[in-house]
Structure 1
């Protein structure tokens, strides 16, 4: 069985501001590094795309920032949406035919490498493009290569609310640096 996780990489607001904004919503927020924080939300772990998008829209809109909402489904599909100031500006699906048997192709769709590089300060859109379009066995490997290419926190790969709450953190996760919004 592969991994299942969702998370939101937020560019701009600090851990403290995100925790204040989340208030009593069950979520963990990582320590902010290089202006990036990772939010893992309990409700999003059901892998409902509307819930994932709603949280990204709200954070991005209310805090006037960028949010990359990630969903990994059983290591078969990596899906993301990118938000700017409450508006979705990019979307990516590594395997559109996985949930939609009527999809024209199962080749990856969406994902604007140049835009992602601009937003996250990366300099090589070819590396991002390779992560988006390359052949991968597992979705977490694609996510890892995308994170490397964009300079995202490596601990965002494989990180979801259920894993954090069980203490099952990725190897690069800052130990003890996650704070729960209800605490």
Structure 2
């Protein structure tokens, strides 16, 4: 099932202030109750991340505060842009090669951008959380997510068995050879991918969690588990993430929310389309309120 979410976390203003301001702009969506000084707005406009970016910039400038624009694209990409006083301070993309990796000469790349120290300092998280946030941003040991899905023949090919491709009868032999060569190049690039990219129990994330003081570790795991449940990825997702990495971007988003103290709903809410998920006290603005 596809999942798309466009959210803004705003630190400072009250829920009522955010709701009133966004409604004055003609926006539609859900404004959650303020939690730990942070209010989340989930936009009903899931057409492009530029829209949520502009809203975050406008809200940050209007209230002279930090705003975090976040976009989960089909559970395959987590993107955020940190805005401070109306200006971009940081940007992150968990899978920058998602749209150009495949049958091209573009090997998979790990996450890009993201300043853990700046993110923690801006959101008021203590310095002990910086290594954990860094590990959440950098981890890319997600089995089978960034690498395209392959059928049984392609999987056999990657494991060294010859591939028996079936081509249209009128396809020129030169084109057939070109396709096979590109498949070979693709398999070669995957075979050279770091082991952590394909899944490594001894991941950065696991080590960072283990390094936390016991009380902080227990607090984080409890928040992470609750955020995973809220996000609909299952009550075992938090523990499995420590073993084999994030299986989808909602898990990464939930971990980031738990580490920064963001409302856990931020990893699951998608405007009024998910009205059954919103917490009590949520204010709906715009159409359908």
Alignment TM-score > 0.5, same fold: yes
* Pairing 1:121–2:124 present: yes
Which structure dedicates a bigger proportion of its chain to helix?
2
- Per-residue deviation, residues 44-99 of structure 1 (Å, max 9, x unmatched): x12x1221211111111111111111100111110100001111110000000012
What is the correspondence of 1:1-183 to structure 2 with a 5 Å cutoff?
Answer: 1-23=1-23, 24-43=26-45, 45-46=46-47, 48-101=48-101, 105-123=108-126, 124-134=129-139, 135=141, 136-164=246-274, 167-169=275-277, 174=279, 176-182=280-286
SS in 2 for 1:146: helix
Q: What displacement does 1:105 show?
A: 4.9
Q: CA RMSD in A?
A: 1.7
- Residue 149 of structure 1 aligns to a residue in which SS? helix
Gaps of 5+ in 1: none
Distance 1:103 1:125, change over 3 A: farther
The alpha carbon displacement at 1:116 in A equals 0.7
3-state DSSP class of the match of 1:96?
coil
Give 1 or 2: higher strand fraction. 1
Q: Mark the runs of 5 or more structure 2 residues left unpaired by the alignment.
A: 142-245
Number of aligned residue pairs: give it.
175
Q: Distance in 1 between matches of 2:123 and 2:106?
A: 30
CA distance in 2, matches of 1:181, 1:125: 35
Contact 1:96/1:103 (8 A) holds in 2:
no
The structure that has the greater radius of gyration is: 2
Contact 2:136 2:252 in 1 (8 A): yes
2:111 touches 2:138 (CA, 8 Å); kept in 1? yes
**Partner Cα separation in structure 1 for residue 263 and residue 67 of structure 2:** 13
Runs of 4+ in 1 over 3 A off after TM superposition: 100-105
Q: Is the 8 A contact 2:6 2:49 kept in 1?
A: no
In 1: Cα distance, 2:17 partner to 2:55 partner: 15
Would the aligned equivalents of 2:9 and 2:38 in 1 still touch at CA under 8 Å? yes
TM-score calculated relative to the size of structure 2: 0.57
